[in-house]
Structures are given as C-alpha cells and as structure tokens.
A = this chain, B = another copy of it.
Amino acid sequence: MSEKEISKAVITRLPRYYRYLGELLEDGVERISSNDLSVRMKVTASQIRQDLNNFGGFGQQGYGYNVKYLYAEIGKILGIDRQHNIIIIGAGNLGQAIANYANFEKRGFLIKGMFDINPRLIGLVVRGIEIRSVDDLEQFVKDNDVQIAALTIPKTKAPEIADRLVKAGIKAIWNFAHTDLSVPEDVVVENVHLSESLMRLSYRVCSIQDSEEERNRQSEIME
C-alpha cells in the first residue's frame, strides 16, 4: 500500500512547524495544544491537526502534543535525522554564504565540497571546504556519495551542469540559478528564485500603495 500522496501545501508548512517546535523546546515548553500553537503561528488549529494527521496521530486527547516528541517526529518526516551529503557548485558570494551557514550541518546536511570554474577560487578553502575545479565534479560525486547539489551559478551554465549532475547520479538539485531545470522525474529540483521573490515583494508594496492612493482619491471625491 503506497502511502497516500501528501499535498505540496502541507509539505511547505512542515518546516515552519519544526521551527516553532524547536523554539518551544528551547524555551523549555513540554506540551502544547493545537490551539495554543495555532495562536503563535497565526494559522488555524484545524489546519495543524489535519496536517499532522497526514503522518500519524502524534497527540493525545485532553493533553495536546508533547513538544520534544513531535519535534523529533517532524524531523524524521523531513528526513533531517539522516545524513545528506551536499556539494555547492559556484563558489561566489551565494555559494560561500551557504557554506558558511553552520546550522545546516546540525540538521544532517554535510557540505562535502565546493566547485567553481574560476582558477583564482580553485584551491581556496572556505570553512574547511576546498574549492575544486568543476572538471572533477563527476568523480567527486561518485567518490563521496553526494546526493544533493546546490547550484549557485549563472543561469546560462545551469542546464549543462544539471545534466552532468544527473548523469553522475545526484538525487536532488537546490537550484538558485534563475532558470527552470528539466531533469528525470526521480530527481528533485527545489528552486530558490530570488529575483521572483523580490518581484512578489514589489507587487505587494505597489498594490498597497495603489490601494492607499485609491482610498485617498475616493475620500477627496466624497468631500
């Protein structure tokens, strides 16, 4: 019996639950009800219970959820109880920013290597991680059991590198290049399109401004 498909919306919310539970844990909170959590997170308690029940009954009637237990369970669901070996392709600022973010390692994401085509970067060491030539990519992926590649390179180079990664047996691409990648269906692509994020922000700023101006115009007419 293949487990029922979990909707994308639920998966998007899981890491946020995980973050809030982690904070509760740090604050020494032992248990929490879906209602209390819903107030903190500004979502409905119904949604929290529905979301969690996709994966099992983690709570207890009359008690709520044990924070430590639920935190661990969501961690398992997200797969951050396992080790993931990562490489970063593109050792520019963005690549280095990722390499320097220590918290990823706490969650089982181990950065095994960085790659670039710039000879001036090759050989440098960032946080103990050597920057290698992209020529050595395939061999390195095979030798180090690398599952995930972060792509922090210009969009022009991304499709070719993605193809090489897929052929080398990578399982997932964390894509920061401003383009869509086409990969076989058993390879995961998670896009982080920063320029699109900034445009959404722009839209929202402008639409607030516009509606304020509209309101002002309306009130002028009323006078």
Using CB atoms and an 8 Å cutoff, list the residues of chain A in contact with chain B. 2-3, 6, 11-12, 14-16, 18-19, 77-80, 82, 84, 92-94, 96-98, 100-101, 103-104, 107-109, 147-148, 171-172, 174, 178-179, 186, 188, 190, 192-209, 211-212, 214
Contact = CB atoms under 8 A, between A and B. Distances in A.
B84 A195 contact: no
A194 B192 contact: yes
A20 B147 CA distance: 29
Contact of A206 (B79, B94, B206): B79
Nearest to A182: B42
A6 B211 CA distance: 13
A3 B211 CA distance: 8
B100 A172 contact: no
Given A11-B203, A192-B194, 16 more contacts: A3-B214, A12-B200, A15-B195, A79-B202, A79-B203, A80-B202, A84-B202, A92-B100, A93-B93, A101-B194, A103-B195, A107-B198, A171-B205, A172-B201, A190-B197, A192-B192
